[in-house]
């Protein structure tokens, strides 16, 4: 029997998951929207973020876990962003962002990153100490305060990304390239540099969500598969490249997925989400959201 | 006719070579021929029709589980289990084809990836039936053929059963792609809008290509399960969707003999590197990146260009 507190707990878990998922999916959606390429290695950037968080945590620095967490929040996006820039410069630019070849190349990148981490970090799933530990009392159960902070940080980062897109010059460049890259270039937008920055930005958002979930789920070299699958689902349901649709879909799917995970089983929730998308595509091949503009 | 002679010569050479191969390579070539059936199936969709699928593990696993589950739970004999495996793959291909009927390009590859992932998760979720990660180990009765009892554990039986499947798949794909039906598939790859303009129902042709490709992949999965007596969740994992893509790209897309060649090279590369490190899948990653950068046409395309330069 599902009781009130259980339902509330499931809703909380779902909301925290949705906030982190929105961050991951926004990165994927941004890359697709601006560059028209699919990054299969997106989940590996999440995994790298978590691994860097483990690396920066108390085990290495010997200090308070909060210090390690803050260092990871700063360092992980830099490291992962640099890797993404290198991948853009060494591979994607050389194949002119051809959609099919980019998919194959990022598939290769997925294995290179994943197996590279297996070589250096090892096959174990390693837990992290939560940076802050306190409990928030709800009627019927106590809830980890860290998870609420995760949700808050994810929302802050989403807002920051939104401001970057809406209020800065580089954001303007990104939006212009998204609408029509040739016209943007004709008006003096450095399109190639915008591509590189967008690819790095997408990877950095993924890495940040990896840092945020690391204290909850630990760090493991195969942990990139779930975020990749869920972000794909979100991006399709939200309409390919539609940022607002992505955020809305992330909220719905994240909460639904989280609730079914808590109340029934995590595996079942992913199967249902995947089949739901298949159903959506049968009815609307372009995704649920109308049009492609945000 | 010359092209059929070349393909028959390859099959004949593979038959002859079994009397000279050392035991270790004997087993390797058996696996390569089975995987090559999978690669040939994949090539029909990717190489000829131009549809990039990231979820062919779905069909391979459908074949493997169709054979493995019926043999394990309902005591099907090897021949009946093979039929059940191919039937399961056909059914899964039909359903998948209906789901993706109108999707092409990016949406197509995402949906195939996700359907395969849903299948992978399902094999874990229904672990009371599939035994999940651990998988099912089969012990099968021998097959009666012309009065002789063929034991599936016998390496010679494995080799020749794989060879038969390989020959059937190779000649079938060659015949298919030289038929008017195959020409339409190639036309869709080159320019779908123009093909539609010529009056062909391209969605129907794509559907047919997917069903043929999926069923051939399922045949490979069913035989693999029966000959090696095992089926587990890993058959549905992303790795089994990536490998056929690599085999096809390495050998050369849209060339019937390309994917088998790519399969052989990949198999030996992984075999050698897995002796050196447990992270041997990194080879697959490096190969995929290298192919996109420097060999977009694969070995067959490279060979063609070399012949053109010589003549």
Question: Hey, are the CB atoms on A278 and B111 less than 8 Å from each other?
Answer: yes
What does residue A144 show for φ and ψ, rounded to 5 degrees? -60, 125
- pLDDT attached to residue A292: 43
Parallel, antiparallel or unpaired: strands B136-137 and B230-231: antiparallel
Cβ neighbour number for residue A187 with a 10 Å cutoff: 10
> CA–CA separation, A91 vs B289, rounded Å?
8
Query: CB within 8 A of B308, min separation 6: which ones?
Result: none
Is there a contact between A108 and B284 if contact means CB atoms under 8 Å apart?
yes
- Residue B10: exposure state from Cβ atoms within 10 A (0-12, 13-18, ≥19): middle
Sole residue written with tokens 């593979």: B14
Q: What is the mean predicted confidence (pLDDT) over A216-224?
A: 87
Is B289 within 8 Å of A105 when comparing Cβ atoms? yes
Structure tokens at A71: 């260092």
Chain A residues in contact with B288 by the CB 8 A cut-off are: 104-105, 107-108, 111
Q: Which residues of B touch A99 (CB under 8 A)?
A: 105-106
Residue A80 · residue A52 · CB < 8 Å? yes
- Alpha-carbon separation of residue A129 from A25, A47, A55, A126, A133 (angstroms): 26, 17, 12, 10, 9
Which chain B residues are within 8 Å of A38, Cβ to Cβ? 106, 109-110
pLDDT at residue A293, rounded to an integer: 39
B278 touches chain A (CB under 8 A): yes
Q: For A228-264, how does the pLDDT look when each residue is reduced to its tens digit (9 = 90+)?
A: 888 988 888 887 777 888 888 888 888 888 888 888 8
Size of interface A-B (CB pairs under 8 A): 122
**For B242-291, what is each residue's pLDDT tens digit?**
899 888 888 887 788 888 888 988 888 888 888 887 888 888 888 888 88
- Chain A residues with CB under 8 Å of a chain B CB are 32, 38, 40, 91, 94-95, 99-105, 107-116, 118-119, 123, 225, 229, 232-233, 236, 240, 265, 267-268, 270-271, 274-275, 277-278, 281-282, 285-286
Residues of chain A above pLDDT 70, percent: 93
For residue B123, the number of C-alpha atoms closer than 13 Å in the C-beta half-sphere is 27
- Say what the pLDDT of residue A61 is: 61
Nearest to B288 among A108, A115, A116 (CB): A108
Q: Which residues pair with A144 in a beta bridge?
A: A135
Chain A residues with CB under 8 Å of B290 CB are: 108
What tokens were used for A204? Answer: 């950095």
Do residue A111 and residue B242 have CB atoms under 8 angstroms apart?
Answer: yes
Across the interface, do B285 and A112 touch by the CB < 8 Å criterion? yes
3-state secondary structure of B284: helix
- Residue-range domain boundaries for chain B: 2-236
Q: Which of A94, A102, A112 sits opposite B282 (nearest CB)?
A: A112
User: Taking a C-beta distance cutoff of 8 angstroms, is the pair A162, A29 a contact?
Assistant: no
Residue A140 structure tokens: 């019927």
Q: At what angle do helices B239-251 and A99-121 cross, to 10 degrees?
A: 120
- Angle formed by the axes of helices A225-237 and A266-283, to 10°? 30
Domain boundaries, chain A: 23-222
SS3 letters for B235-280? HHCCHHHHHHHHHHHHHCCCCCCHHHHHHHHHHHHHHHHHCCCCCC
Q: How far is CA A163 from the centre of its chain?
A: 18
First to last CA, chain A: 42
Residues of B in contact with A104 (CB under 8 A): 245, 249, 288, 291-292
Enumerate residues 226 to 255 of chain B having a beta carbon within 8 A of any beta carbon in chain A: 238, 242, 245, 249
| % chain B with pLDDT above 90 | 24
**This prediction's pTM:** 0.86
Name the closest residue on chain B to residue A100, using Cα atoms: B52
Query: At A149, is the pLDDT very low, low, confident or very high (cuts 50, 70, 90)?
Result: confident
- pLDDT number for residue A1: 56
Nearest to A232 among B52, B110, B278 (CB): B110
> Taking CB atoms and an 8 Å cutoff, what residues of chain A touch B98?
282
Contacts of B226 by beta carbon, 8 Å cutoff, 6+ apart: B67, B68, B71, B78, B81, B82, B85, B138, B140, B152
| Assigned token pair, A52 | 């860097």
Residue B285 is nearest to which of A38, A108, A232, comparing CB atoms? A108
Rounded (10°) CA dihedral A189, A195, A199, A201: -10
What's the ipTM?
Answer: 0.83
- Tens digit of each residue's pLDDT (9 = 90 or more) over B145-182: 776 777 777 888 888 889 999 999 999 999 988 899 98
Distance between CA atoms of residues B261 and B263, nearest Å: 5
Q: pLDDT at position B112, please?
A: 87
For residue range B84-131, list pLDDT tens digits in order: 999 999 999 999 998 888 777 777 888 888 889 888 888 888 888 778
pLDDT 10s digits, A76-124: 999 999 999 999 999 888 888 888 888 889 989 999 999 999 988 888 8
Burial of A149 (0-12, 13-18, 19+ CB in 10 A): middle
- The single-letter DSSP state of residue B232 is -
pLDDT for position A2: 66
CB A45 within 8 A of CB A207: yes
Asked if the Cβ–Cβ distance from B114 to A278 is below 8 Å, we say yes
């Amino acid at each position: 029997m599902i009781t009130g507190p259980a339902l509330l707990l499931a809703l909380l878990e779902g909301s925290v998951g949705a906030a982190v998922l929105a961050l991951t999916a926004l990165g994927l959606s941004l890359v697709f929207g601006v560059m028209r390429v699919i990054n299969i290695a997106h989940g590996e950037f999440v995994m790298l973020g978590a691994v860097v968080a483990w690396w920066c945590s108390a085990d290495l620095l010997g200090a308070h876990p909060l210090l390690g967490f803050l260092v990871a929040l700063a360092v992980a996006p830099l490291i992962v962003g640099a890797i993404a820039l290198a991948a853009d410069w060494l591979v994607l630019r050389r194949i002119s962002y051809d959609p099919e070849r980019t998919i194959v190349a990022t598939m290769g990148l997925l294995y290179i990153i994943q197996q590279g981490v297996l070589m250096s970090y090892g096959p174990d799933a390693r837990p992290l100490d939560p940076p802050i530990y306190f409990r928030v009392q709800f009627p019927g159960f106590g809830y980890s305060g860290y998870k609420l902070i995760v949700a808050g940080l994810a929302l802050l980062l989403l807002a920051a990304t939104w401001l970057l897109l809406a209020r800065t010059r580089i954001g303007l460049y990104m939006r212009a390239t998204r609408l029509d890259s040739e016209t943007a270039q004709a008006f003096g937008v450095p399109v190639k540099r915008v591509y590189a920055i967008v690819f790095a930005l997408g990877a950095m958002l993924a890495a940040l969500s990896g840092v945020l979930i690391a204290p909850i789920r630990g760090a493991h070299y195969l942990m990139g598969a779930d975020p990749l699958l869920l972000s794909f689902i979100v991006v399709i349901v939200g309409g390919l490249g539609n940022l607002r649709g992505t955020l809305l879909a992330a909220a719905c799917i994240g909460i639904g997925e989280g609730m079914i995970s808590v109340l029934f089983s995590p595996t079942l929730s992913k199967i249902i989400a995947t089949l739901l998308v298949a159903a959506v595509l049968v009815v609307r091949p372009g995704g649920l959201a109308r049009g492609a503009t945000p | 006719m010359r092209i059929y002679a070349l393909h028959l010569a390859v099959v004949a050479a593979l038959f002859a070579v079994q009397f000279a191969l050392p035991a270790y390579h004997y087993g390797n070539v058996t696996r390569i021929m089975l995987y090559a059936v999978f690669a040939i199936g994949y090539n029909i969709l990717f190489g000829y029709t131009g549809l990039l699928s990231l979820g062919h593990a779905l069909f391979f696993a459908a074949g493997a589980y169709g054979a493995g589950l019926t043999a394990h739970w309902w005591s099907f004999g090897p021949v009946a289990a093979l039929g059940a495996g191919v039937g399961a793959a056909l059914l899964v291909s039909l359903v998948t084809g209906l789901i993706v009927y109108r999707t092409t390009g990016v949406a197509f590859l995402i949906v195939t990836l996700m359907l395969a992932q849903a299948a992978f998760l399902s094999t874990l979720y229904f672990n009371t039936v599939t035994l999940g990660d651990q998988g099912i180990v089969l012990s099968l009765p021998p097959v009666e053929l012309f009065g002789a009892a063929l034991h599936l554990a016998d390496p010679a039986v494995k080799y020749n059963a794989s060879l038969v499947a390989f020959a059937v798949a190779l000649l079938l794909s060659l015949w298919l792609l030289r038929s008017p039906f195959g020409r339409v598939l190639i036309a869709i790859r080159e320019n779908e809008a123009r093909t539609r303009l010529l009056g062909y129902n391209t969605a129907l042709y794509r559907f047919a290509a997917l069903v043929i490709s999926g069923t051939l992949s399922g045949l490979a999965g069913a035989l693999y399960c029966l000959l090696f007596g095992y089926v587990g969740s890993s058959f549905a994992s992303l790795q089994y969707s990536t490998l056929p893509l690599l085999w096809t790209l390495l050998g050369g897309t849209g060339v019937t003999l390309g994917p088998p060649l790519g399969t052989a090279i990949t198999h030996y590369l992984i075999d050698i590197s897995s002796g050196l490190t447990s992270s041997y899948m990194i080879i697959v990653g490096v190969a995929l990146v290298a192919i996109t950068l420097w060999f977009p046409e694969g070995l067959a395309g490279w060979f063609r260009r070399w012949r053109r330069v010589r003549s």
